């Protein structure tokens, strides 16, 4: 992998990780400050994403082979952009939760914490994968993503069942489910990036 592209990719990934960490802090301590800081980081992410795209395009020959070379890199950049979009969705949910003074049950808090922590941990693996393109690490990420999807889907189904039974407060439900689904989006795009990085390991350089 081209060293300049690799560096820009790592920086972009690390910046998204920081935004997700701030969103998690905003969930645990809804003071508003972490949420504001996360939104400020969004501008840096967009800048890093644009720089990465420009770098890839500038190194891409106009030939068909060149365009094929660029596709995985541009797909990875798109996945990073979608992660950012999902984190923005989490921040929207957190603002609505604070503005409407909505409280989660202890169980809901634990479930959101579980998915948040796993999303952050999986995302933190990507810089190492970018640098090494280690297939075993990518395989491990894939297994953990599939396991977390199963757990998160179970949380959503159980929550809906509690809602039907009248255990959960209806006004908290869209926010809880919105956070879980957005975190699943981050996790899913982590898997997408992982797969594309492994495919690059067998790609010939320009």
pLDDT value, residue 169? 77
Structure-token match 């439900």, residue found:
173
Query: In which domain, by residue range, is 76 found?
Result: 3-201
pLDDT value, residue 164? 83
**Structurally, how many domains does the chain consist of?**
1
Q: Which pTM value belongs to this model?
A: 0.92
Mean per-residue pLDDT pooled into runs of 10, the chain (206 residues): 91 97 92 88 93 92 81 94 97 93 91 97 95 93 95 93 81 93 97 91 55
- Whether 188 is covered by a domain: the verdict is yes
In this structure, what CATH number is given to the domain that contains residue 92? 1.20.58.220
Lookup: tokens for 166: 């009248």
C-alpha dihedral, 182 to 112 to 164 to 86, nearest 10°: -10
pLDDT value, residue 34? 92
- Whether 206 is covered by a domain: the verdict is no
């Amino acid at each position: 992998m081209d060293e300049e592209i690799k560096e820009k990719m790592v920086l972009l990934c690390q910046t998204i990780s920081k935004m997700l960490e701030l969103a998690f802090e905003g969930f645990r301590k809804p003071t508003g400050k972490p949420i504001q800081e996360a939104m400020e980081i969004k501008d840096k992410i967009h800048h890093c994403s644009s720089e990465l795209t420009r770098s890839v395009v500038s190194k891409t020959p106009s030939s068909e082979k060149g365009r094929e070379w660029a596709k995985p890199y541009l797909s990875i950049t798109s996945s990073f952009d979608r992660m950012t979009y999902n984190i923005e969705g989490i921040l929207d949910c957190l603002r609505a939760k604070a503005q409407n003074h909505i409280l989660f049950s202890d169980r809901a808090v634990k479930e959101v914490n579980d998915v948040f922590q796993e999303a952050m941990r999986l995302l933190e693996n990507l810089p190492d994968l970018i640098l090494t393109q280690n297939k075993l690490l990518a395989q491990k990420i894939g297994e953990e993503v599939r396991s977390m999807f199963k757990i998160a889907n179970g949380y959503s189904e159980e929550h809906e069942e509690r809602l039907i039974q009248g255990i959960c407060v209806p006004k908290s439900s869209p926010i809880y489910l919105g956070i879980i689904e957005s975190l699943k989006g981050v996790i899913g795009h982590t898997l997408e990036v992982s797969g594309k990085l492994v495919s690059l390991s067998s790609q010939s350089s320009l």
